Structure 1
Amino acid sequence: MLTHYDRDHVGGLDAVVGIVDRALVGPTDGAADEHLLDDLRGGGAQVVDAHRGMADTLGDYRWDVLWPRDGARISGNEASVTVLFSGPLRMMFLGDLGERAQAAVAAANTIGPVDVVKVAHHGSADQSERFYLALHAVVGVISVGLDNGYGHPTDRLLGILGRTATRVARTDLAGLVVISGRSAAISVWTEKTVPP
């Protein structure tokens, strides 16, 4: 799945060209994005424009695309493909959605509590507290680089997660994060031990 085309989300694409047989992709924004999709097609992948209402299964999980709307004329972070996985765990993956797009996702879908949320945009300040309150996630995974120049995750985002009683797992501090189990018994394993 290519949520959108920022380098930090598609930079490793060459590693899967010729291996994947299907790719769900967000709206493109120009020739460079289209070239990436041509590379996937050239490697034998079926490229599918992801949009709200699409659903399928993957192992024990059902996945539903909640965003973007079909035919929406948006791109970049605001068009990040947003997916809800339902199964042993209920998990929401937000790509790099900002506050305005999070509000639009909430307006277009019935948003309820989840076990895990992949926090949007590496923990930027551009977040909707109302949206995270509706998600009421048990665990929030922040995929973010150590000593990044953006100040991510921001105090604002960490405050939001604190107010929703969401346990934070940050890749900048913990390295690899693996989540398993079921809603009643979620297990979080991290590559590094993070001091309390």
Structure 2
Amino acid sequence: MKTALLATACALALAACASTPSTDAGAEAGASAAASTSAPANLATESTLSSATVNLAAASGSLVSGKLSLMPMGDGLHLQGEIGGLAPGSTHAIHIHETGDCSAADASSAGGHFNPTAEAHGKVDTPTHHGGDMNNIVANADGVAQVDVHASGPVLGGGAANDAVGKAVIVHADPDDYTSQPSGNAGARVACGVISAG
């Protein structure tokens, strides 16, 4: 009888051990599912392209134009280049906008700020901001701004909701106050260009 009880106890212990991995696997699957639902499924975390360019053309009767290069960096995209035709020493907002259409004379065809996460407008280095929000640029004494700004959140390529390829870059007449909704009280759109791969 003692032998039978011992055999039964051993069988139960082995059964419990055998079921432990499936419980752990279930917990890992649950944790994995929870992790995948914590980040929006339609947002990409990495760019599929290594670079893009923007040729900015004048809008709203301005003489502002320039060329920018974009590259993936850190948590988003870094924009560098040169924009001319600005008033000497002036400060201007620069944003990525939602539609790659610069056909309207005032660039209104580019729509609002690129905002795939539906956040409020704000400064790029704060928790709440649009994907297209960037720091202001400043023109030198010759009216030329050396652009070196970052957009947090967008990627290049892949077609996800936060893919910036095919969106527009807009330079505004005034600085962004980083507070006024939805666009920082940045004034008229004085230049517009479409983000193109390569």
TM-score, normalising length: structure 1: 0.23
TM-score, normalising length: structure 2: 0.23
Structure with larger RCO (C-alpha < 8 A, sep 6+): 2
Q: Which structure has the highest helix share of the two?
A: 1
Larger Rg: 2
